[in-house]
Amino acid sequence: MCVVCGCGDAKRNMPVAAGAGPASADDTLRLDFGAGAARVSVPGMSQARAIKLEADVLGANQRLADRNRAHFAAHRVSAYNLVSSPGAGKTSLLCATIGLLQRRAPGLPLAVIEGDQQTSHDAERIRASGAAAVQVNTGKGCHLDARMVAAAFERLPLHAAAHHDAASEIGALLLIENVGNLVCPALWDLGEQAKVAILSVTEGDDKPAKYPDMFAAAGLMVINKIDLLPHVDFDLQRCIDFARRVNPDIEVMLLSARTGDGLERWVDWLLGERPGAGGDSPLDRRVRDVQAHLRPVLEKAG
Ligand code: MG
């Protein structure tokens, strides 16, 4: 349970009125429990108390995340935090990524931290794909925190070496698969270089609007399962427009972990090879997306 998502278990609370001004017919059909100062409603807890608790908890996590970030830098480890709903294809993408990285960057130390409430299924899949993995089970917890990642990192072979001999800019790569949840992991810094929000075309194309905190926190949105585009009603441009509305700087990538389409570009990104990154405007990026990426994919999808 965490105060961030309001999943406490006290007994009473009331919604804050939706919208300002005279109630419209629409307002009577919408209850907004996030309109208070804390932007979260926890039964039995005041808004001031919720803010204080969140600041304390996230502040403690931030100090540990900063320590992780320094620790990763000391080992020349680039760490990425993969977040999504359950079923968006995080583990499948990681398995495909490991295979491609072994061909593209043989010798690059690589490891995965897997977050799930229960089981070691995903860590077993990762190990079968050829990378070291530590499974973190969170029990009732709905996200990984910086302390969990620190404990997992110490158990990985990455931790045993400094990776100073590697010729590439990146000494080693650590991929963290967070618990499937588009809400809570948005606010928990793990010490990563960037959050990667993964969305699949079998989900709603308005998820960036429904879960804005996650897409605001992410540096990259990966749209997965594009091989299924001809079979689903997923509007790519609408999805990207929603994401850019909450985060004008978010990068966008389309791929299919199953077919391998788009995976080279994703691996380029992980390896720090990002043509055009930095310096160009959100509009430039959008034009580049459409010209260089969306159009061929849309043509292919028919
Ligand atoms: Mg998984």
Other Cβ atoms closer than 10 A to 302: 6
Residue 45's pLDDT is: 95
Confirm whether 294 is domain-assigned: no
Q: Which residues are placed with Cβ below 5 angstroms of ligand 1, an ion?
A: 90-91, 122
Residue 144 domain flag: yes
Q: How far is the CA of 15 from the centre of ligand 1 (A)?
A: 34
Band of the pLDDT at 23, cuts 50, 70, 90? low
How many domains does the chain contain in total? 1
Among the residue ranges 73-82, 87-96, 269-278, the one predicted with the least confidence is 269-278
User: What single letter denotes the amino acid at residue 274?
Assistant: R
Distance 181 CA to ligand 1 centre (A): 11
Size of the chain, expressed as the number of residues it contains: 302
For residue 105, pLDDT beyond 60: yes
Is residue 296 in some structural domain?
A: no
- For residue 43, the CA-to-ligand 1 centroid distance in Å is 31
Rounded to the nearest angstrom, the distance between the alpha carbon of 179 and the centre of ligand 1 is 8
What is the three-state SS of the chain? CCCCCCCCCCCCCCCECCCCCCCCCCHHHCCECCCCCCCCCCCCCCHHHHHHHHHHHHHHHHHHHHHHHHHHHHCCEEEEEEEECCCCCHHHHHHHHHHHHHHHCCCCCEEEEEEECCCCHHHHHHHHHCCEEEEEECCCCCCCCHHHHHHHHCCCHHHHCCCCCCCCCCCEEEEEECCCCCCHHHHCCCCCCEEEEEEECCCCCCHHHHCHHHHHHCCEEEEECHHHHHHCCCCHHHHHHHHHHHCCCCEEEECCCCCCCCHHHHHHHHCCCCCCCCCCCHHHHHHHHHHHHHHHHHHHHC
Q: What is the pLDDT of residue 285?
A: 56
Distances (CA, A) of 115 to 82, 140, 239: 10, 12, 26
The interaxial angle of helices 146-153 and 47-74, nearest 10 deg, is 20
pLDDT tens per residue across span 223-259:
999 999 999 999 999 999 999 999 999 999 999 999 9
pLDDT given at position 160: 76
Residue 11 has pLDDT above 50, yes or no: no
Give distance in angstroms: CA of 54 to centre of ligand 1. 27
In this predicted structure, the answer to whether residue 111 has a pLDDT above a threshold of 60 is: yes
82 C-alpha vs ligand 1 centroid, how far in Å?
Answer: 10
Distance 46 CA to ligand 1 centre (A): 35
What CATH number has the domain bearing residue 198? 3.40.50.300
Compute the distance between CA of residue 112 and CA of residue 155 in angstroms, rounded to an integer: 11
Q: Is the pLDDT of residue 126 over 80?
A: yes
277: pLDDT strictly greater than 60: no
**Is residue 33 one of the residues assigned to a domain?**
no
Under 8 Å between Cβ of 194 and 99? no
Residue 8, sorted as left (phi over 0), alpha (psi -120 to 50) or beta, turns out to be beta
Tell me what the mean pLDDT of segment 74-100 comes to: 96
C-alpha 282 – ligand 1 centre gap (Å): 31
Report the separation in Å between the CA atom of 284 and the middle of ligand 1, taken as the mean of its atom positions.
Answer: 34
Whole-number Å distance, alpha carbon 93 to ligand 1 midpoint, is: 9
137 in a structural domain: yes
Q: Quick check: is 222 in a domain?
A: yes
Q: What mean pLDDT is reported for the chain? A: 87
| Domain annotation covers residue 194 | yes
Task: Find, among 169, 222, 171, the residue nearest to 194 by Cα.
Answer: 222
d(CA 38, ligand 1 centre) in Å: 31
Percent of the chain with pLDDT over 90: 74
Per-residue pLDDT reduced to its tens digit, 139-158:
999 999 999 999 999 999 98
- Most confident option among 29-33, 244-248, 297-301: 244-248
Whether the Cβ atoms of residue 268 and residue 234 lie closer than 8 Å to each other: no
Q: For residue 111, how far is its CA from the centre of ligand 1 (angstroms)?
A: 15
pLDDT at 1 over 90: no
CB contact at 8 A, 203 and 243: no
Taking the centre of ligand 1 as the mean of its atom positions, its distance from the CA of residue 217, in whole angstroms, is 20
Question: Long-range contacts for 244-249 (Cβ within 8 Å, ≥24 apart)?
Answer: 244/282, 244/286, 245/208, 245/209, 246/208, 246/209, 246/212, 246/215, 246/216, 247/215, 247/216, 247/218, 248/282, 249/219, 249/282, 249/285
Beta bridge partner(s), residue 110: 173
Domain that holds residue 141: 74-274
Q: What number is the average pLDDT over the span 29-37?
A: 92
Q: How far is the CA of 115 from the centre of ligand 1 (A)?
A: 8
Distance from the alpha carbon of residue 12 to the mean position of ligand 1, in angstroms? 35
Q: 198: CA distance to ligand 1 center in Å? A: 12
Residue 278 has what pLDDT? 47
Residue 136's identity, in one-letter code, is V
Contact 249, 282 (CB under 8 A): yes
Bridge partners, residue 254, by sequence = 223
- CA of 87 relative to ligand 1 center, distance in Å: 7
Would 32 be classed as within a structural domain?
no
Q: How far is the CA of 182 from the centre of ligand 1 (A)?
A: 13
